[in-house]
Structure 1
Amino acid sequence: MKFGGSSVSSAARMREVAGLILAFPEERPVVVLSAMGKTTNLLLLAGEKAVGCGVIRVSEIEEWNLIKDLHIKTVEELALPRSVIHTMLDELEQLLKGIAMMKELTLRTTDYLVSFGECMSTRIFAAYLNKIGVKARQLDAFDIGFITTDDFGNADILEATYPAVAKRLHGDWIRDPAIPIVTGFLGKGWKSGAVTTLGRGGSDLTATTIGKALGLREIQVWKDVDGVLTCDPNIYPNATTVPYLTFEEAAELAYFGAQVLHPQSMRPAREGDIPVRVKNSYNPKAPGTLITKQRKMDKVVLTSIVLKSNVTMLDIVSTRMLGQFGFLAKELDHVVEELEKIAVVHLLQQRAIISLIGNVRRSSLILEKAFQVLRKSGVNVQMISQGASKVNMSLIVHDSEAKQCIKALHQAFFEDDVLTEVEEEALHMS
């Protein structure tokens, strides 16, 4: 069970999360936590200020005070002794002083700096569980076998991690059964031995890695949304939850900007064929989204609509490019300047990609309906692509029209009860 930053952003939220874990008394979960709320961003800002201000008086850095106050307040509200995080806060203060003295913040030090977020949230939460009579054990991922590349800020998990983590967690459980509370997002560089971070979606990756290492039945990713949605609710509030997805669909959604899951973080679950369930810690009764390797597609037309705004389109017209494959890769540095020597280049800015994630066996049907909708809205599609992916069709429109397109498409595909003749026909044929 992985809980994101907003799920553990305060003492009240931590109590809620403890309740969710206790709601499955017959299960033996491994719990993975992110840092509390916006702590990671605050740590990064505190580090930057320490470099810039050159003062050794860390007490003047506002972000450091916010971090300290949040964690002390949480510990007090949960009626825990301050000693739970006392050492961590002292170490963090010393680190910021060191950064201020050196006037330098390397990638390696940055990873060590942000690791304090997860190290503190897990210590507080494990102490709270133990206090309410649920036996728990706090574990730093970099101490239990998460072995990574030394690519600070965006490290990759190495294969050796799986047996190492499995051995440690099994051994701990046999020796002294307790719920493991593991730091998300962190690892240990295999050459440097230093703390590394796993990049975007890193805590989800921690959870899927543990799931694969232990061969678990299910990986639950608890967020602050009801699962994966049919479109971005900020663009159109009528978005609904997508109950089932394949890993392939989830990867496409993530690639085209849906913020719920990062494709890299799903890889271990996909390899280990372990279902991932996305749930809402603010609304635990909602069924969420279940992501599996395969699902029945015979009734599926469209799954979700994703918008990627502020895209630049490069329109290249040339006869001299015929057979000249590979030229773009060589000239990307000054691509427009170079291309103008061999072609007429139009740089079209303020465009948006609308991706229709769905059943590509129905691509003609989906596109027919989409174009009907866009024609009625008076929108001209400027480019269309159905790439190598088996689940995605993309249309490019002007940025200014994109949001109304999403709304109109969502209404047509997800809200109108009347199936078009084409859809009726397709369903009968299947």
Structure 2
Amino acid sequence: MKVLKFGGTSVGSVKSILSLKHIVENEARRQPIVVVVSALGGITDKLLSTAQQAVSGNEAWKISFEEMVDRHHKMIDTIITNTIDREDLFNKVDALFEQLRSIYFGVYLIRDLSRKTQDAIVSYGERLSSNIVSSMVRGSMWMDSREFIKTEFAHGKNTLDSVLTNKLVRDAFAELPRVTILPGFISCDRDTGETTNLGRGGSDYTAALVAAALNAEVLEIWTDVDGFMTADPKVIRSAYTIDELSYVEAMELCNFGAKVIYPPTIYPVCIKNIPIRVKNTFNPEGRGTIIKGKVENDSKAIRGISSIKGTTLITVSGLSMVGVIGVNRRIFTALADHGISVFLVSQASSENSTSIGVRDEDAHKAVSVLNKEFEAEIEDGAMFPMHAESELATIAVVGENMKHTPGIAGKLFGTLGRSGISVIACAQGASETNISFVINARYLRKSLNVIHDSFFLSEYNVLNLFICGVGTVGGKLIEQIRSQYEQLKEHNRLKLNVVGIASSKNAIFSRDGIDLANYRELLKTSETSTPEKLRDNIIGMNIFNSVFVDCTASKDIAALYRSFLEHNVSVVAANKIAASSRYEDYAYLKDTAMRRGVKFLFETNVGAGLPVIGTINDLRNSGDKILKIEAVLSGTLNFIFNAISADVPFSETVRMAKENGYSEPDPRLDLSGTDVIRKLVILTREAGYRVEQADVEKHLFVPDDYFQGTLDEFWKRLPQLDADFERRRRLLEAEGKRWRFVATMDGGKTSVELKAVNSTHPFYNLEGSNNIILLTTERYKDYPMQIQGYGAGASVTAAGVFANIMSIANV
């Protein structure tokens, strides 16, 4: 036989209760079943709130009462089609409502609501719903749970008399009807015969008690979800249903906020090794979750994540606690005597402090109770007054396989740390099936997502990108991400989720991701943005695994890096300004990224997509020392000096470089050597030397006065240089040489200069807009390492930025 329990949502609407009927009648064809039902969804709360109205003398209780009557009547009118059956059911239901009305009226008259009266009131929810279900399911027998679920009053509350209950259940079901309908939740005091209840969620408990007493084949809990989820799907969209859980894992998840089943439900069936199957009334074909003694063939260390909002952490501390026996007994006895539940305990090994986690609603009372308990010690100064910290949340990471996997706690806290999330308190039992910790509540969503993602509970690893700049490089990058999106999902199990895009004037944000096929149109209709607004939005979203990607040349945007890194947002920059700014600022960004466990990457600052900076870092990390760097670092200038000829004057080559997208938007940055100087400073710093832009010795080829005034004035004057360049070009050609603008670092000393190189020099045959870098190191002293290739262009720069992003994804 089976026991099936249906929750409030399963009997809360016409659609759900008809689904219940179909499920029950199908099961009854196979074997005898016992069906336990809750009150209609929301009715228990309505019963209690109406009681509060009555006891306060508010005549609105009558309206609330009639609303409950009307709801049940409408349900009966809709689902019971047989006239005789419907009339019979109306009589039963109305008789119950008459009793309930009398109780409410009494409460209203005498302004008293005792525990006994309140228990009687809430019992009507299940009594009404179970009678409706029994009338709907043909051939079923209704039984009153109060006849065999017995409680006793002890320690200020009703507790189950399990021995008597087991005996009475077996006696009541000595002959099993095909279908038995029971009201859940309600019970009866064994001594007084008064109606009691098993507490909120008690219908699950009723079903478990019956299943255990009758040695049922399985206990099925029918609810409005497909089963236990790896995390809260309202917070984590990638959360999915867990096929199997052990009893221990299910209990841990239930205790920490996974409101799928009532925690006491598990024990009665666990000791009888009766599996629990959680199913969805609205999706009966779904597999659901099976809970049993042992889960086979599971490789995941973590099974699920659960959380409790509204946590307050109370710290009991004082030097008098060290080595004193009985302090913790006093703490927990005092709290238990006042009905305060503690769900987390964390104690320092020095014993001078114990932190306990309670729900916010219990915090004030708990502080008062503990201050009273330790009043003498606090007055003497041996202990401090209780310290309560609220606006916290507690997370539990659950899985029996954790005890077989070394390093889980290290990975967990390391993952949180890299995301900028501080753990305020933690607790782990020796069984290692649950690691619980307390964090600031504002980081709850971020914490759940990053843990779910990092421990392979998600189907995909997710990287959340904020892309600033949609010009040539930014536009190409977005195209590349869009074209590679499905490939990365399929082969790398990686989702590049673009959650923010900003142009020079507008910005759009979406936690769920932006449509990359339509982002330009979305930008046009979005609100205007400033660097400050951009910063506040990104930090305010507080999103996990986030990366800020700067595809601009803006000084104001580069100034935001510090805030992003300090808030554990990685930075990938095509923008050279930050890495070539004051050395102290550069060093601070690098140090902050290292301290915070995030990335500050700027490979495309030099050589576009060429692996220059990464190679230098690899050499240094392996113990090599960079002695000298010689490089042609400007694709623009190399293009200009390759294109210049008798037919193509100097001014025309500059214009061609601009039109082909090789130069900066303002080509004077290239011609003045500013761009090359920045690149040289960046390489020198990455090679381990301290240098500023002002330290670079400059030998330029365009007079300084050409860099004054407006850009239009520059273009007008530029042809005046053509004749001199042509004269010098002819002399160079006669000598068999070519111009190259060379950046040099030698022992920390830096310079840039337009040099003439002959045909034997590695720079001589450098084509188009290519870059070349020669690295002389202690290991590559006689034959320098050479890196050469495209050093300019939107596509290769975007590809380099993309490669930096991927390196973060693969950490």
TM-score by length of 1: 0.88
Secondary structure, in 3 states, of the residue corresponding to 1:323? coil
Q: Secondary structure at the match of 2:395?
A: strand
Q: CA deviation at 1:273?
A: 1.5
CA-based RMSD:
2.4
Q: Which deviates more, 311-320 or 71-80?
A: 311-320
Aligned match of 1:349:
390
Post-superposition CA distance 1:286-310 (Å, at most 9, x none) = 2111111222366231001112223
Alignment of 1:6-405 (within 5 A): 6-24=9-27, 25-53=29-57, 61-78=62-79, 79=81, 80-81=86-87, 82-130=90-138, 135-143=139-147, 145-150=148-153, 154-171=158-175, 173=176, 177-296=177-296, 299-315=299-315, 318-330=318-330, 332=334, 333-335=369-371, 338=375, 341-343=381-383, 347-358=388-399, 359-362=401-404, 364-405=406-447
CA distance in 1, matches of 2:183, 2:316: 48
Q: Distance in 1 between matches of 2:318 and 2:159?
A: 41
Instruction: State the shift of 1:390 in Å.
Output: 3.6
Aligned-partner SS, 2:181: strand
SS at match of 1:149: strand
Change beyond 3 A, Cα 1:364–1:382: farther
Q: Identity percentage over the alignment?
A: 28
Q: By how many angstroms is 1:327 displaced? A: 1.4
Q: Structure 1 residues 95-104 or 204-213, which shifts more? A: 95-104
Partner of 1:425: none
Structure 1 contact 150–190 (Cα < 8 Å) conserved: no
Change (3 A) 1:388 1:109: farther
Structure with bigger gyration radius:
2
Q: Which whole-Å CA distance do the structure 2 matches of 1:388 and 1:76 have between them?
A: 56
Task: Report the CA distance shift for 1:223/1:375 in structure 2 as closer, same or farther (over 3 A).
Answer: same
Contact kept in structure 1, 2:151 and 2:158, CA below 8 Å: no
One-letter identity of the residue aligned with 1:308? I
Deviation at 1:325, TM superposition (A): 3.0
8 Å contact 1:54–1:101 — kept in the other structure?
no
C-alpha contact (below 8 Å) 2:221/2:261 kept by paired residues: no
Contact 1:54–1:103, Cα closer than 8 Å, also in 2: no
Tell me, what secondary structure is at the counterpart of 1:53?
A: coil
Tell me: CA distance 1:314–1:297, structure 2 relative to 1, closer, same or farther (3 Å). Answer: farther
Q: Deviations over 1:222-242 (max 9, x none)?
A: 111111111112222221111
Distance 2:58 2:418 in 1: 60
Tell me the distance in 2 between the aligned counterparts of 1:267 and 1:277.
Answer: 14
| Deviation sequence 1:101-126 (CA, Å, 0-9, x none) | 23211111111111111111111111
Q: Give the Å deviation of 1:363.
A: 5.0
Q: How has the CA–CA distance of structure 1 residues 41 and 315 changed in structure 2, closer, same or farther, with 3 Å as cutoff?
A: closer
Give distance in 2, aligned partners of 1:316 and 1:139.
50
CA drift at 1:335: 3.7
Q: C-alpha separation between the residues in 2 aligned to 1:393 and 1:72?
A: 48
Partners of 1:153 and 1:199 within 8 A in 2: no
Tell me which moved more, 179-188 or 336-345.
336-345
Distance 1:270 1:104, change over 3 A: same
Mean CA deviation greater in 347-356 or 313-322: 313-322
How far 1:251 sits from its partner (Å)? 1.4
Once structures 1 and 2 are overlaid, which stretch shifts more, 86-95 or 376-385?
Answer: 376-385
SS in 2 for 1:301: coil
Cα distance per residue 1:389-424 (max 9 Å; x no partner):
4410122222211210101111122124779xxxxx
Q: 1:256 & 1:61 partners in 2: Cα distance?
A: 38
SS of structure 2 residue aligned to 1:360: helix
* 2:382 aligned partner, one-letter code: I
Amino acid at match of 2:40: M
Distance 2:389 2:150 in 1: 44
The amino acid across from 1:334 in the alignment is L
**1:348 CA drift (Å):** 3.3
Counterpart of 1:427? none
- The structure-2 alpha-carbon separation of the partners of 1:281 and 1:153, relative to structure 1 and needing over 3 Å to count, comes to farther
The AA in structure 2 aligned to 1:303 is R
Identify if the C-alpha distance between structure 1 residues 50 and 380 changes in structure 2 by more than 3 Å, giving closer, same or farther.
closer
Q: What amino acid is the match of 2:209?
A: T
SS in 2 for 1:222: strand
Asked whether the equivalents of residues 31 and 178 of structure 2 are also in contact (C-alpha less than 8 Å), the reply is no
- Which position in structure 2 is the counterpart of 1:422? none
CA contact (8 A) 1:142 1:186 kept: yes
CA offset digits 1:60-95 (Å, max 9, x no partner): 622201110011111111232222412112222222
Partner of 2:7: 4
Change in 2 beyond 3 A, CA 1:315/1:17: same
TM superposition shift of 1:319? 4.3
Q: Which is worse superposed, 216-225 or 153-162? A: 153-162
**Is contact 2:427–2:437 with CA below 8 Å preserved after alignment?**
yes
Seen in structure 2, the aligned counterparts of structure 1 residues 315 and 191 have a Cα distance that, compared at 3 Å, is closer
CA distance in 2, matches of 1:129, 1:370: 50
Assess if the C-alpha contact under 8 Å between 1:33 and 1:182 holds in 2.
yes
- SS of the residue corresponding to residue 407 of structure 2 reads helix
Confirm or deny: 8 A CA contact 2:307 2:393 kept in the other structure. yes
The one-letter code matched in structure 2 to 1:99 is: V
AA paired with 1:201?
A: G
The change in CA–CA distance for 1:354 and 1:161 in structure 2 (over 3 A counts) is: same
Mapped to 1, the partners of 2:37 and 2:437 lie a distance apart of: 38
The residue that corresponds to 1:426 in the other structure is none
Q: 1:232 is paired with a residue of what secondary structure?
A: coil
Q: Secondary structure of the equivalent of 1:30? A: strand
Cα shift at 1:343: 4.4
Distance 2:235 2:58 in 1: 43
- For structure 1, the residue ranges without an aligned partner over 5 or more in a row are 420-430
SS across alignment from 1:166 = helix
- State the alpha-carbon separation in 2 of the partners of residues 18 and 253 from structure 1: 30
Q: What stretches of structure 1 move > 6 A for 4+ residues in a row?
A: none
Structure-2 separation of matches of 1:316 and 1:52:
38
Q: In the alignment, what sits opposite 1:424?
A: none
Contact kept, 8 Å, 1:147 with 1:187, in 2: the verdict is yes
State the Cα distance separating 1:41 from its structure 2 match. Answer: 0.9
Q: Which amino acid aligns with 2:227?
A: G
Aligned equivalents of 1:150, 1:363: Cα separation in 2: 45
Aligned mates of 1:315, 1:42 — CA distance in 2 = 37
Q: Contact between 2:308 and 2:395, CA under 8 Å: does it hold in 1? A: yes
Report Cα offsets for 1:15-55 as digits up to 9, x if no partner. 11001112322122100000111111111112222222276
Does the aligned pair in 1 maintain the 2:25–2:137 contact within 8 Å?
A: no
Q: Distance in 2 between matches of 1:260 and 1:27?
A: 26
Distance in 2 (CA, whole Å) between partners of 1:350 and 1:363 is 33
Letter in 2 for 1:162: N
Question: Taking structure 1 as reference, are residues 318 and 49 closer, same or farther at Cα in structure 2, changes over 3 Å only?
Answer: closer
Greater shift in the superposed pair: 301-310 or 66-75: 301-310
Local SS of the residue matching 2:274? coil
